[in-house]
Amino acid sequence: MHAIQVDHVVKRYKNGVQALNGLSLSVKEGEIFSLLGQNGAGKSTLIRILTTYLCPTAGEIEMMGKDIKKDAAVIRSQIACVAQQTSIDTYLSLEENMMFQSRLYKIPKAEARQRMERLISDFGLSQYRKYPVSSYSGGVKRRLDIALNMMVNPKILFLDEPTVGMDIQSRIAMWDMMNKIRDGFGTTIFLTTHYLEEADSLSDNVCIIKDGKEVTQGTPAELRSLLRQHNLQVKFSSSTESKANLGLFQMQFQGKKFFQHGNIIVINTYSAQSDLLEITSFLLKQNIPFVGIEITEPTLEDVFLRLTQNGQEDQE
């Protein structure tokens, strides 16, 4: 069964803005699913609809086999959402927050205690249980907020930009937590992120949306293979040199796309081997000093930029 099935959903706000434009996607039970899109693509609108805060203007949505229009109350009792603003009470300790949450959801006390102990131990949060949540860093607060939301045993957990602004250690702790939620609790995770490397390494499936419509959906590997191209990277000793050589490259190899990033020039190519030979011999003949040249796989970021900036020409 699919955890979430979105079928041709349209959302038109009262001011006439059409934020979702016939969007379809599906999320499998027990997976980590990432929704990617530029600002204004419609991610928050979709999350607000799936968490039953907003009604779609048209289209069908099923969550855990239930229709979102007919069974919103049942669906609401089976999901949890951690937004960017923490919902955790920062004056209370983690333990107090968890027990308070369990009373709100009418979970029997003994069961709540058992659940709290499991969450604290599985997520390695025992050092945070007693002191007010306000005494911890932003990254820790976010993890405590997620642990709190897990008290109600949701079937689907929505996370809006869970690692935004975090340092690398907090992000690693957060990734570890998400993997534990999927593997240990069987909870489906639906998240939005701006970090494409994160989506690539963490997600089972990814959907890229643009202007309120899906552009593509699949595993990160499937999406990378969509480009059916490689990158050639020529490394120079400084960005001044790479900048200086960019114009030369464009003049010599007309019709190819070059990008300059720091001390590297990147070339998108469908024929990596022959381009490698051609460019290397050009550099050697012209006596242009370079540090190295290599063929690399496209990243999810390449796919994202190609599909959201230039349409879908490369999928043909």
CB of 168 vs ligand ADP, minimal distance in Å:
25
CA 98, CA 145: separation in Å to the nearest integer? 10
91 binding ligand ADP? (CB under 6 A): no
Q: Which two tokens stand for residue 209?
A: 């949306």
43 or 230: whose CB is closer to ligand ADP?
Answer: 43
25 binding ligand ADP? (CB under 6 A): no
> In sequence order, what are the residues at sequence separation of 6 or more whose Cβ sits closer than 8 angstroms to the Cβ of residue 227?
268, 298, 302, 303, 306, 314
> In sequence order, what are the residues at sequence separation of 6 or more whose Cβ sits closer than 8 angstroms to the Cβ of residue 13?
19
Q: Which two tokens stand for residue 271?
A: 């024929």
* 6, 34, 36, 37: residue in contact with ligand ADP (rule CB under 6 A): 37
> In sequence order, what are the residues at sequence separation of 6 or more whose Cβ sits closer than 8 angstroms to the Cβ of residue 287?
none
* 19, 82, 94, 157: residue in contact with ligand ADP (rule CB under 6 A): 19
Q: 202 - beta bridge partners? A: none
- Contact map string, positions 210 to 229, toward ligand ADP, x by CB under 6 A: --------------------
* 15, 85, 287, 309: residue in contact with ligand ADP (rule CB under 6 A): 15
Q: Which two tokens stand for residue 74?
A: 């049942």
- 105 neighbors 136 (Cβ within 8 angstroms): no
Region of 38-46, 111-119, 146-154, 279-287 interacting with ligand ADP (CB under 6 A):
38-46
Region of 34-42, 148-156, 166-174, 220-228 interacting with ligand ADP (CB under 6 A):
34-42
Region of 42-50, 58-66, 75-83, 173-181 interacting with ligand ADP (CB under 6 A):
42-50
CA 254, CA 234: separation in Å to the nearest integer? 17
Q: Residues 44 to 63: which contact ligand ADP by CB under 6 A?
A: 44-45
Question: For binding to ligand ADP (CB under 6 A), which residues are involved?
Answer: 13, 15, 17, 19, 37, 39-45
